[in-house]
Amino acid sequence: MPPVEFREQKLVAELKKLYYVVEGVKAVVIVNIDGLLVSSYPIDDEENPHETPTSSPQVAAMSATLVGLAEKTLVRLAQGKLERLLMEAEEGTMVVYPAGRTAVAVLVEKTANMAHVLFATKQAAAEIAAILAG
């Protein structure tokens, strides 16, 4: 009989896949709509918290707030449901996809192939939504 795989293990497996398969991904995090951290990869390094800043509770809360504001703005502008949120900065890009009652946020290097990042993140968000719904 195969070992039972728990929901958290499945989520981490999805995050690891995105982290290792997509070149340029620096960190991946799942946050719920209340701004709580569900899961992240790489795992937070308590001795050096700035190495994986996306796994902090503050970043989770800010990501959820951004998704909420984007959704409200799109409703107000009659543009339909949020498909993704993309923020570009000098040092990198953050992509956020809704995933059911959660969101998947990916921090990527500036040089990353964004088509690959967007495709893989959209697929991961759908898989994560399915895991959390089941």
Please check the confidence at residue 3 and state whether its pLDDT lies above 90.
no
Where b means 16+ CB within 10 Å and e means fewer, 45-76 reads: eeeeeeebebbbeebbeebbebbeebeeeeee
Q: Work out how many domains the chain is built from and give that number.
A: 1
Region 55-70 average pLDDT: 84
Residue 2 lies in a domain: no
- Structural domain including 112 reads 7-133
Residue 103 lies in a domain: yes
CATH code of residue 28: 3.30.450.30
Q: Global pTM?
A: 0.85
Residue 95 lies in a domain: yes
Query: Residue 85 — φ and ψ, nearest 5°?
Result: -120, 130
- 106-132: per-residue pLDDT in tens? 999 999 999 999 999 999 999 999 999
Token pair of 58, please? 């503050």
**DSSP 8-state code for residue 95:** E
- 5-55: per-residue pLDDT in tens? 688 899 999 999 999 999 999 999 999 988 899 998 887 554 554 555 566
